[in-house]
Amino acid sequence: MPSPRSLSEESIRSVIAWGIGPCLPGWALILVLYGLERLSAMEAMVAAAVFFVLMAIFVFTRLADLARLIRYTELLLKNIDAPAPPIHTSATVQRLRNALTALQKLWADRRDEAEGLATSRQVIIDSLPEPLLLLDRKRRVVGANAAARDLLDREAGATGSTRELLYRDLAWVIRDPKVLEATDRALAQNKSGEALLSFPAPIERTFRTLLVSLGLVEKDGTALIMVLQEQTEHLRMDQMRADFVANASHELRTPLAIVLGFIETLRGAARDDTEAREKFLEIMLKQANRMTRLIDDLLSLSRIELREHMRPTGETDIATVLSATVDLLDVQKRELKTSIRINVANDLPHVIGEPTVLSQVFYNLTNNALKYGGERGSVEISAQRVEERPLSMPGTGPCVRIAVRDHGGGIPKEHIPRLTERFYRVDTARSREMGGTGLGLAIVKHITLQHRGVLAIESEIGKGSTFSVYLPMVGTTS
């Protein structure tokens, strides 16, 4: 706070000017008294000087208070919480100080209210699951919810902090020309719009970008709201449906074409050729059986998908199911000259599930291991309790892991994510030669999901593959 001794030269000049003005009437009276010889020259000079000093002190103290108020006002522009200075003179100056203090409190209340509203708005938009951005007229990001910060900071390679995203041009985080053009058009025309946004590999993701124009610019500069609705799964499902129809048609058309071709041959030149007829009939029977297996698997997969939302309530002894599965595959095991070893932990808890349905899972996995595990190889089946569930598995508590391992050639890593898709094969020719329909792992996946479990696949070229099924134990949540 400025003191009387620290006033500037301008303040001193003001004191002199304001001090002389009020002194003029007093000096005039002293001059009259001097003219009437009531005061001597010396007395008149002393009286004038004393009067001036008294008036200067009077004005000086008031100007010091005014200087404090001016300084206080300047501080308020920088810091709304600046303390009010003490006032020592007139009630008028004190009232001015009180008015400024009241104005300060009003500003502080308005500031707190604005900060509260901003915090509430941020909490609201942070609670939205879809990424949301607020843009100003210059296409800068002025707001973002947690989902947007997580997505766009990561895509831009930033640190993940809000500051890395806010007040940057949208092109810094979204480089898709179609989205940027749609955003510029929405800002220029004050109209809403949309565009499709795609993030490239390694993890390809597609979003429907909704652009909502606010028309009038908000106080914080917001002129446009951008909402990103992920379409990755929908597009993938649409593609899978299209692939399913195409693949199913192809899988059925191929054996049908073979059967029809042999029928035409048998009706023609090979009608009286007994050896050719027997050979063709055997091939036709093989293709008919292939179509039957394909249709059976399609029906089975359809039934499983219809029941996928229904949680099983029964209890299953995994040891019994695995033993029965190995017995069913005894013929294939002998033909392929392969061995199967089962290792089930002692006192293994029962799992939640239906035995007949789960047996289909382990039949398909073990059958695949026999086919692709290499001739004279071995298949190992193990079952044990696991204290920690995989992150992708719902529920809490320990679970049971059943692993089917072969020692074949292994599966290239790029194929593993797609193994459970319908009709997906790593080696199409070999799979058909082995009698596979391309639906076995899809059935395994959906049965596992119905049981609130998880299928995990690990493979190493030249060493083999391990298919692990995690199932909830009886007495745990799923």
What domains are defined for the chain? 9-110 (no CATH), 129-235 (3.30.450.20), 310-477 (3.30.565.10)
Summarize pLDDT for 200-254 with one digit per residue, the tens: 755 678 899 999 888 766 665 778 889 998 887 787 777 767 766 776 777 777 7
Summarize pLDDT for 82-113 with one digit per residue, the tens: 676 666 666 655 666 666 677 667 767 776 67
Mean pLDDT of 291-313: 75
Query: Is the confidence at residue 260, as pLDDT, over 90?
Result: no
**Global pTM?**
0.49
Query: Is the confidence at residue 306, as pLDDT, over 50?
Result: yes
Give the per-residue pLDDT at 230.
Answer: 86
72 vs 12, higher pLDDT: 72
The whole-chain average pLDDT of the chain stands at 76
32 vs 173, higher pLDDT: 173
Query: Is the confidence at residue 159, as pLDDT, over 50?
Result: no
Secondary structure of the chain as H, E, C letters: CCCHHHCCHHHHHHHHHHHHHHHHHHHHHHHHHHHCCCCCHHHHHHHHHHHHHHHHHHHHHHHHHHHHHHHHHHHHHHCCCCCCCCCCCCHHHHHHHHHHHHHHHHHHHHHHHHHHHHHHHHHHHHCCCCCEEEECCCCEEEEECHHHHHHHHHHCCCCCCHHHCCCCEHHHCCCCHHHHHHHHHHHHHCCCEEEEEEECCCCCEEEEEEEEECCCCCCCCCCEEEEEEECHHHHHHHHHHHHHHHHHHHHHHHHHHHHHHHHHHHHCCCCCCHHHHHHHHHHHHHHHHHHHHHHHHHHHHHHHHHCCCCCCCCEECHHHHHHHHHHHCHHHHHHCCCEEEEEECCCCCCEECCHHHHHHHHHHHHHHHHHHCCCCCEEEEEEEEECCCCCCCCCCCCEEEEEEEECCCCCCHHHHHHCCCCCCCCCHHHHHHCCCCCCHHHHHHHHHHHCCCEEEEEEECCCEEEEEEEEEECCCCC
